[in-house]
Each structure stands twice: as structure tokens, then as C-alpha cells.
Amino acid sequence: MGWNSWNCWGLDVSAEKVKSSAQALLDKGLADYGYAYINIDDSWEAPERDANGDLLANDKFPDMKGLGEWLHDEGLKFGIYSSPGVTTCGNYLGSIDHEENDARMYNEWGIDYLKYDWCGYQQKWMTEKDNYTRASFIRPYMLMEKYLREQPRDIFYSLCQYGWEEVWKWGPMVDANSWRTTGDITDTWESMSDIGFRQQEDLYPYAAPGHWNDPDMLEVGNDLTVNQGRAHFGLWAMMAAPLILGNDLRSMDKETLDIISNREVIAVDQDSLGVQGFKIPVGQNVETWWKPLSGGDWAVLVLNINKEPVSYELNWQMFNMTDDEVSGRSTDFDKITYTVRDLWNGGKPTKTDKPLKVKVGGEDAAMYRLTPIKDKKH
């Protein structure tokens, strides 16, 4: 959990903007919810390496080590971006042939997170004899892994190569902590819903503690409506996705803050069972998503893809099922009664002994946490 500069500032990021964002994260109490990583995306890199082959930061970042120290003093973590190519996606210098230097430099600066973006590596890869083989996709990530893991720091390794060559199948092998599963998200309903609702559903068996599917950073608080932002955040929580904020934390409105600081929704995302939710469509552009949680609980999301609000009767008995593929957990609605907590609206919990009437706004999602009612006799 944390924040990254890209969705908010793109290549126009600076140390001042990063520091003031981190300060806003602290001032608004977001660190208390678990947001910890402050990640600089592309455009921090100097135009040339020094005589030792070390890559320094450009004028916008006059003191990387100092910035890292300040973040650490505030209890936060420090993230950075690079590419295995000659250049990054934004045409800044990449790490090619200098992976060892760069890993060492990250360690010196106190880096805790590296986003490593394929992009500019494409040109080199095109010239490789074995391109298009899985080995050719894995190679640059394996190389950086070797040097990263030689560092004394515990550095989160975040792969960014848009889900090519089924990265979810080999990400754990290069000790990646997360891997992007798709192309870039933007702050439109079309982009967010295409990535979130359509491109992730088959990937749920590949998420596991320490090795996560990454459907890209959050757009909550950017150009999405409140309903869309709620659907986005809820869905990312159901997917156990990294929650990396991408909005301007300094100027966000109350609705945005309320969404990203919903403790119970965050708890679904961060649940210690570490299982990604799966989807069961129920027709008329309504989907239900189900996520087994620790302690016998379940999270349920009811997503309305229509522009208009819908009413849907959630008959629990229709969802007696077992998650055979990952957790082995069954809902057992025919045997167990659960309490049902509405995670966005609060209020008195209901029970699964009768169907739940769900009202969901247009392009919005309702979200619930089910907890088994223990039989008092046992």
C-alpha cells in the first residue's frame, strides 16, 4: 500500500511534489491505514551516468539519499522506477548493462521498492535470437533480481511488462513481489472496468502472499465519479491487489478520502489468507465477486456495470459453492448462517438466513463482509 507519482503527474514529477505528497499522506492520517510506500515513477534519472557507471538523479531530485532518509524518519518507505532497457518509457536512462550499479545505488539511497518497466527493453529484445520465447521475457527480470537480492535491504520487486508471456506463471520464479497484469490504466470508467472486470478474472489462482497480481495503480480521486471510484477501490480490494494511490493527495476531496480510508474494505484487500476473489456474473450487467477471508469469513462485492441503479436480490442459497482452485473453502450457506456487514454504509448487520435486497448505484459496487455465527453449543 502506498502512493506513486505517475497517475497524478506523469513525467512532471519533482522532489518537492513527492515530499509534499508524502506530507499530505501523513497529515491526512493515511499512514495509519497502512499506506507506506512513496514511489517515484519515471523521470527522476540524469541524462548521463558518471565515470563509475552510476546513474544519478536529475536536477528535479537534488538529494535522493536525503529524501529517503526523510521518508524513513517519518515511518514511510521509498520506491523508485527503472527499466531493463537503454531508455525508460519516458525516454530517460534505463539500467541496461548497469544493473549491478543501479541495485547498489538503490541500496545507498535507501530504496524499498523497485518498479522495473520493460518498455525501452523492447529494442534490444527484438534483436535477440530467442525473442518470443519465455526465456527471453524472463531474462532481464532475473538479472535485476540477482543484484537486488544481493543488497542488504529488503526491496519489493514490482514487475511492469503489461502481463506479457503470462508473467503470473513465472513471476514468483524471479522472486517478484508483484507483476502488472495489463497495459496502463487511465482515469476513465472504460479503462478501469476493462482492466478490473474483464482482464483479471482468470488470474485469481496466481495471487499468493508475497506474490501478487497487479492490475495497475489506483485512479480513485482522479477523473472518476464517486460511484466509479468506490467500484474501483472495492474491486481492487477483492483482487487482493496492491493499493497504490495515484491521485493528488494534497488537494483530494472528502469523498475520495472516505473511499481510500475505509478500514474494512482495506482489511479485505490485506486479509492474511491472501486469496484473490473470483467472479460469478448474475446477468443484466451485474456481477458478484467472492473472496474467502481468514477466520471463515467471506467478502462479497455486487458490481453494477449499468449506468442506471439496479436492485438485485442476493439469494445466498444460490451461492453454495467451494473455491476448489485455491483455498478449498466452501460458503456452506445451507449449513452456516453468517452476519452480513455493509462495508460502505455500515448500519446494523443482517443475516444470510434470508435473501438480501441490494441496491447499487450506476457504475458502482456494494460490498459486504460475511462472518459465520458460531453455534453456541460448541
**Cα separation, 187 vs 255, whole angstroms:** 16
Name which of 160 and 275 has its Cβ closer to ligand GAL.
160
Listed residue (351, 362, 1, 5) closest to 178, CA to CA? 1
Regarding 160 and contact with ligand GAL (CB under 6 A), the answer is yes
Scanning 25-33, 84-92, 126-134, 303-311 for contacts with ligand GAL by CB under 6 A, the matching segment is 84-92
Separation between Cα atoms, residue 98 and residue 256, nearest integer Å: 41
Count of residues that interact with ligand GAL, criterion CB under 6 A:
11
Torsion-angle region of 10 (φ positive above 0: left; ψ -120 to 50: alpha; else: beta):
left
Name the DSSP letter for residue 378: -
Q: Is 255 in the site for ligand GAL (CB under 6 A)?
A: no
Sequence-distant (≥ 6) Cβ neighbours of residue 121 within 8 angstroms: 83, 84, 85, 94, 96, 140
Under DSSP, is residue 298 helix (H, G, I), strand (E, B) or coil?
A: strand
The binder of ligand GAL chosen from 184, 201, 255, 264 (CB under 6 A): 184
Residues 252 and 152: their CA atoms lie apart, in Å, by 37
Is residue 184 annotated as a catalytic residue, yes or no?
Answer: yes
Query: Is 119 a binder of ligand GAL (CB under 6 A)?
Result: yes
Whether 375 is a known active-site residue: answer: no
Indicate which residue of 184, 194, 332, 342 is catalytic: 184
Q: Is 41 in the site for ligand GAL (CB under 6 A)?
A: yes
Q: Distance between the two ends of the chain, CA-based, in angstroms?
A: 39
Nearer to ligand GAL (CB atom), residue 119 or residue 260: 119
Beta carbon nearer to ligand GAL, 246 or 361: 246
Q: Is 179 in the site for ligand GAL (CB under 6 A)?
A: no
Catalytic pick among 42, 117, 216, 269: 117
Q: Which of 40, 67, 76, 89 binds ligand GAL (CB under 6 A)?
A: 89
Asked if 42 is part of the footprint of ligand GAL (rule: CB under 6 A), the reply reads yes
Residue 118 C-beta: closest distance to ligand GAL, Å: 7
Sign of CA dihedral 219, 225, 226, 232: negative
In three state form, how does the secondary structure of 90-109 look? CCCECCCCCHHHHHHHHHHH
The only residue of 45, 112, 117, 287 in contact with ligand GAL, by rule CB under 6 A: 117
Q: Annotated catalytic sites, by residue?
A: 117, 184
Chain residues in the site for ligand GAL (CB under 6 A): 6, 41-42, 81, 88-90, 117, 119, 160, 184
